[in-house]
């Protein structure tokens, strides 16, 4: 029998073990990433020095740039880095061949090339964007030292490419062998947490407990979640994981998630409208939504095993099968004494709930197939995440990068500063590297802070620590405490660019080599040049058409309105997913910053909600009209209604608003008359009923005086706390 002391010690050890396990699953994972990054950087440095490559710093910077917590992200980023490096080498050869020893023409050509690459980085997403970034600043790194000595291009380029490959191999090997973190596990955790979070969100809306500000915050969070899952999905293809074979399921999960978010918000808006008008349909719809909310409470925790997933799928399938009976009961009680407007109110709400239940069932089915490692039973369809970057924004981003390089180059030529080439090189690197960020001006500013901090730290390390050490082992030991800072900062998304700037600057300033050079004057000049180059980029990005300015908000609202035109006229196959994902892509910068207190951000969110609601209703209207043969007059009425709605969002004014409402009313009345014909079969009547609900939903949105569209049409909101109404 154990003594009380032994029992107490066991309790303490058990408590310590639990705390250690909990720490290992949270903060511990971050420290694993910090040490893995440092080990990979030192390994790349050691291999480069062992083979006497010209600049081991290139291999180290490569590690810091491509290192990610998940192995799949590292492999994908490595692939695009190789592609970008090769493109940069070709561009360097072309520039040196065309403008050898012609400094001014070379700088002009380089600035234009980096501007084009930066525009491409802003136009694309994920690691395609990174490939353009690499193509831009690799050209600057290779071509600048050779502009006056072009004959050394091939030796220099081969050395730089070799160092990049060494950095890639070290990052990939360390990431895959030292406490590897599978991207598949990250995807699964993301999907499980989103499952739980959305259930709680939907329950709050269906129960009438969701506040507007909280709903806005959750929608921004869901936008970021959808973008992250798409980034993970596109990266998992290079990782040795079972998720590679379930790519289509991941696409469908994202599609269903976005569709559910839109449908439940449309229901939320409809219920608010019905409460304002004191419609009798409100109580009936509240009963139906309440039963669905009760069902979601039992689904509060995500299924984590195949058996749990199958049980969840069966449970919701049973609810889905019984839901039409509940709907019919409500219809019989509610619609027996309702006139047409109230009838349409209730039918529209019922249709939205039916749609939400179907979408939720599809989502749970795909989730279960993902957990149970089986293929989804749904047929193949066109599920592609659409990128909707404004070309004007991309062009201005490229123009900013070109301007930065030209300004720093002009200063270099005018001052004849020997270290001017380093300043121009850093301006090119900073412009290309930070341009794809949601807020490039803030990213570059944080990068400057990291560079300045690293400048001081590097001076202390190089001249007060490394001078007292001898040998590779002591060199690593002396550098490690300073190297840990950068990756640690990268753990915080708000400080990631600061950490990248710190690590990059530290590598450049220490410049490890087999024969170290300790020249304080050269050190200070070189560091000052790098800081000036990046600081110039920060100033230009913060003053020349910044993405936080009013012009960008106007462009964002314009891009959102154009999505309604797309919903009206683009081909129907795959249109729903292109529409949903395109709107999320447009708002990815806004979602990343989460600035709900900013009235301009709230204004853009209002545009997002009405565009989602109107666009989805139009798409469903077109799908129902196209599903079954109808009379030509009916189709003409529907097409006229769609065209007038597109005109309203193209030019939101009173005349277009009136025309759109008249065409919608005409279509509703025409369908009501047609639906009374005896020769119609059940499928045609069901399609007409769904078309009526879509038209009624569009009409309710246009009649709502509290929307940003109504304020734009009537001109009652000419200013927005000192800013411009963006759709005006």
HSE-up of residue 488 (Cα within 13 Å, Cβ side): 10
Class of 183-371 per CATH?
Answer: mainly alpha
Three-point CA angle 611, 612, 614, nearest 5°: 65
Look at residue 647 in the predicted model and tell me its pLDDT: 92
Look at residue 534 in the predicted model and tell me its pLDDT: 92
CA distance 162 to 40: 16
Tell me: pLDDT of 14 over 70.
Answer: no
Tell me: pLDDT of 171 over 50.
Answer: yes
Both tokens of residue 624? 């129902």
What 3-state class would DSSP assign to 180? coil
In the DSSP assignment, the letter for residue 574 is T
For residue 310, give every residue at least 6 positions away whose Cβ sits within 8 Å of its Cβ, in sequence order, or none.
Answer: 368, 372
CA distance 246 to 92: 40
Kindly report the backbone phi and psi dihedral angles of residue 723, in degrees, each rounded to the nearest multiple of 5, phi listed first.
Answer: -110, 180
Mean pLDDT of 451-458: 95
Tell me: pLDDT of 204 over 70.
Answer: yes
Both tokens of residue 278? 């004191």
Look at residue 1 in the predicted model and tell me its pLDDT: 46
Tell me: pLDDT of 116 over 70.
Answer: yes
Best mean pLDDT range from 304-308, 312-316, 590-594: 312-316
CA distance 530 to 426: 5
Mean pLDDT of 281-309: 73
Look at residue 684 in the predicted model and tell me its pLDDT: 79
Tell me: pLDDT of 299 over 60.
Answer: no
What 3-state class would DSSP assign to 720? strand
Kindly report the backbone phi and psi dihedral angles of residue 91, in degrees, each rounded to the nearest multiple of 5, phi listed first.
Answer: -65, -40
Range(s) of the chain covered by CATH 1.20.58: 183-371
Tell me: pLDDT of 363 over 60.
Answer: yes
CA distance 683 to 627: 10
Look at residue 618 in the predicted model and tell me its pLDDT: 94
Look at residue 724 in the predicted model and tell me its pLDDT: 36
What pLDDT, in 10s, does the model give residues 673-696? 877 665 667 777 888 888 888 998
What percentage of the chain has pLDDT greater than the value 90? 22
What pLDDT, in 10s, does the model give residues 56-104? 999 999 899 888 888 777 877 788 888 888 888 889 888 888 887 788 8
Look at residue 9 in the predicted model and tell me its pLDDT: 64
CA distance 506 to 187: 33
In the DSSP assignment, the letter for residue 385 is P
Look at residue 679 in the predicted model and tell me its pLDDT: 64
For residue 202, give every residue at least 6 positions away whose Cβ sits within 8 Å of its Cβ, in sequence order, or none.
Answer: 260, 264, 293, 296, 356, 360
CB 346 within 8 A of CB 334: yes
Look at residue 240 in the predicted model and tell me its pLDDT: 56
CB 631 within 8 A of CB 667: no
Tell me: pLDDT of 550 over 80.
Answer: no
Mean pLDDT over the full length of the chain: 82
CA distance 31 to 383: 37
Kindly report the backbone phi and psi dihedral angles of residue 211, in degrees, each rounded to the nearest multiple of 5, phi listed first.
Answer: -80, 155
What pLDDT, in 10s, does the model give residues 178-187? 888 877 777 8
Residue that is written with structure tokens 């913060």 in the block: 542
pTM: 0.82
Handedness of CA 564, 566, 572, 576 (dihedral sign): negative
Three-point CA angle 79, 235, 501, nearest 5°: 65
- Residues, the chain, total? 728
Mean pLDDT of 354-375: 80
* Weakest-pLDDT range from 52-61, 284-293, 319-328, 381-390: 381-390
Tell me: pLDDT of 19 over 70.
Answer: no
Bigger pLDDT: 45 vs 215:
45
What pLDDT, in 10s, does the model give residues 487-496? 999 988 888 8
What 3-state class would DSSP assign to 723? strand
What pLDDT, in 10s, does the model give residues 624-650? 888 878 778 888 888 999 999 999 998
What pLDDT, in 10s, does the model give residues 601-612? 788 888 888 999
CB 342 within 8 A of CB 281: yes
* Weakest-pLDDT range from 400-404, 431-435, 450-454, 588-592: 588-592
Buried b / exposed e along 664-680 (16+ C-beta atoms within 10 A): beebbebbeebbeeeeb
Tell me: pLDDT of 507 over 90.
Answer: yes
CA distance 543 to 554: 17
């Amino acid at each position: 029998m154990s003594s009380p002391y032994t029992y107490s010690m066991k309790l303490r050890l058990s408590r310590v073990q639990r705390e250690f396990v909990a720490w290992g699953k949270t903060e511990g994972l971050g420290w694993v990433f910090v040490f893995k990054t440092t080990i990979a950087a030192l390994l790349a440095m050691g291999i480069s020095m062992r083979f006497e490559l010209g600049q081991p710093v290139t291999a180290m910077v490569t590690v810091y740039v491509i290192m990610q917590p998940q192995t799949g992200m590292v492999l994908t980023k490595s692939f695009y880095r190789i592609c970008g490096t090769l493109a940069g080498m070709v561009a360097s050869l072309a520039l040196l061949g065309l403008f050898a020893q012609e400094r001014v023409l070379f700088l002009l050509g380089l600035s234009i090339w980096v501007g084009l690459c930066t525009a491409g980085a802003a136009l694309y997403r994920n690691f395609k964007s990174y490939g353009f970034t690499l193509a831009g600043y690799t050209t600057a790194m290779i071509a600048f030292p050779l502009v006056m000595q072009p004959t050394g291009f091939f030796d220099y380029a081969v050395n730089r490419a070799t160092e990049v490959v060494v950095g890639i191999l070290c990052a990939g090997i360390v990431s895959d062998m030292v406490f590897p973190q599978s991207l598949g596990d990250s995807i699964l955790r993301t999907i499980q947490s989103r499952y739980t979070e959305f259930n709680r969100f939907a329950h709050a809306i269906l129960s009438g407990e969701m506040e507007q500000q909280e709903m806005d915050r959750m929608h921004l969070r869901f936008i970021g979640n959808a973008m992250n899952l798409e980034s993970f999905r596109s990266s998992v293809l290079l990782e040795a994981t079972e998720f590679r074979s379930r790519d289509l399921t991941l696409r469908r999960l994202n599609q269903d998630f976005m569709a559910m978010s839109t449908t439940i918000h449309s229901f939320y808006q409809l219920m608010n409208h019905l409460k304002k008008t004191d419609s009798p349909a409100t109580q009936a719809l509240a009963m139906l939504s309440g039963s669905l909310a009760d069902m979601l409470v039992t689904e509060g925790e995500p299924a984590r095993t195949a058996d749990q997933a199958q049980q969840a799928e069966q449970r919701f399938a049973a609810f889905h099968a019984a839901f039409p009976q509940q709907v019919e009961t409500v219809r019989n009680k509610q619609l027996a004494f309702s006139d047409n407007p109230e009838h349409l109110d209730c039918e529209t709400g019922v249709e939205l709930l039916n749609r939400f239940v179907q979408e939720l069932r599809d989502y749970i089915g795909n989730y279960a197939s993902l957990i149970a490692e089986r293929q989804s039973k749904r047929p193949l369809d066109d599920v592609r995440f659409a990128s909707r970057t404004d070309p004007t924004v991309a062009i201005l981003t490229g123009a900013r990068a070109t301007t930065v390089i030209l300004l720093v180059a002009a200063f270099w030529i005018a001052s004849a500063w020997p270290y001017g080439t380093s300043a121009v090189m850093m301006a090119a690197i900073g412009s290309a590297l930070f341009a794809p960020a949601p807020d490039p001006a803030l990213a570059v500013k944080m990068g400057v802070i990291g560079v300045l901090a690293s400048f001081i730290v590097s001076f202390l390390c190089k001249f007060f620590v490394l001078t007292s050490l001898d040998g590779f082992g002591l060199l690593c030991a002396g550098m490690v405490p300073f190297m840990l800072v950068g990756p640690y900062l990268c753990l915080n998304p708000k400080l990631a660019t600061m950490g990248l700037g710190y690590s990059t600057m530290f590598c450049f300033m220490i410049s490890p080599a087999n024969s170290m050079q300790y020249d304080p004057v050269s050190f200070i000049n070189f560091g000052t040049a790098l800081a000036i180059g990046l600081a110039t980029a920060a100033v230009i990005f913060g003053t020349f058409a910044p993405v936080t300015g009013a012009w960008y908000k106007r462009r964002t609202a314009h891009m959102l309105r154009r999505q309604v035109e797309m919903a009206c006229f683009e081909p129907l196959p795959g249109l729903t997913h292109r529409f949903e994902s395109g709107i999320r892509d447009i708002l990815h910068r806004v979602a990343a910053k989460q600035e709900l207190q900013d009235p301009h951000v709230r204004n853009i969110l209002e545009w997002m909600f009405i565009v989602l609601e109107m666009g989805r209703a139009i798409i469903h209207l077109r799908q129902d009209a196209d599903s079954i043969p109808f009379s030509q007059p009916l189709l003409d009425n529907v097409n006229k209604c769609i065209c007038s709605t597109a005109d309203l969002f193209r030019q939101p004014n009173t005349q277009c608003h009136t025309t759109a409402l008249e065409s919608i009313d005409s279509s509703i009345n025409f369908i009501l008359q047609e639906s009374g014909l005896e020769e119609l079969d059940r499928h045609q009547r069901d399609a007409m009923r769904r078309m009526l609900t879509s038209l009624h939903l569009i009409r309710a949105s246009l009649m709502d005086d509290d929307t940003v569209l109504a304020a734009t049409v009537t001109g009652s909101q000419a200013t927005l706390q000192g800013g411009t109404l963006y759709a005006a």
